[in-house]
Amino acid sequence: MTKLTEREIELLLKHYIGFDQHGFLTGFEEGDRLEAFLQVYCDLDIKPTSRIGAAVAREFVEILFEQTPTVQAKIVRTVLAGFPPDRYDGPHTRNALLHKKLSDVASRLESSTVLVEGVAPKSSSDVVQLALRDADYLISRGDARSAVAKTHTALHGHIKLMCDDESILYEDDVSLPKLFKLLRENHSSFQSTGLHQEKIDNVAKDLSTAMHSLNEIRNQASDAHPNDELLDVVDATLAINAMRTIIHYVEEKRSSRGGSLLDKLLRR
């Protein structure tokens, strides 16, 4: 996921919209104007808190940094529509060339690879939570390749914790695929007998097969080790999406079946 860079935000705000001699962003001198721009013109549920002056511009920068690429693209395109190159109040750098450059930036943001939404397990170890936060930060900075190893650590650690919760034994150096197999075969949350359970079991087995490749990717194509060649961004995103999907799956299984304290007590 490639978000706006600091340089692109500078081009948008300083060189395209422009600042006046007081450091106020042209057209956004008051917080109410920024609020109307975001809520009315961009159709975003964002309510700025700054009321006037340079603080409004600073909050606009913070808002831009926080958004997904899709939302960033919407903001950029709305700026371009509201501030055409021939508008009278802009800096001399607000011209057709910069308009085209920022339009291309918006196109890039709109075509950014979509990631499966991250999930924060309700109960997990500090190591898992830290790995998830680190991965989310790296992804937000457009560095999916460096997030592969962190996501793998989070997945491996969380499945270990789920096994520990139900006293499922495993070896210290157990691999991720084997750990997932132990979880599916022994954890109470996975003991379903529904009409389509056989099909779901086949999907889960395929996930186990994928985990063998994810292990190899983590060890041989990520920055977990000093490997000569890392995954490209698209392939790194595929690996992260696969691992996030598994985290979603095991966490939802735990939450929907036997995840509460009452359920655990009743099973004993």
Name the least confident of 18-32, 169-183, 246-260: 246-260
CA distances from 49 to 25, 60, 248 (A): 16, 10, 34
* Most confident range, picked from 33-47, 193-207, 239-253: 33-47
Residue from 123, 148, 126, 124 nearest 138 by CA: 148
Whether the per-residue pLDDT at 267 is higher than 70: the answer is no
Between 40 and 232, the more confident residue is: 40
Say what percent of the chain tops pLDDT 90. Answer: 38
Output the pLDDT for position 169.
94
pLDDT, mean over the chain: 84
Q: Give the phi and the psi of residue 85 in degrees, each rounded to 5.
A: -55, -30
Q: What are the tens digits of pLDDT across the range 125-152? A: 677 888 888 888 887 666 778 889 999 9
Output the pLDDT for position 39.
93
Q: What are the tens digits of pLDDT across the range 100-134? A: 999 999 988 876 655 566 665 655 667 788 888 88
Output the pLDDT for position 186.
92
**pTM for this prediction:** 0.54
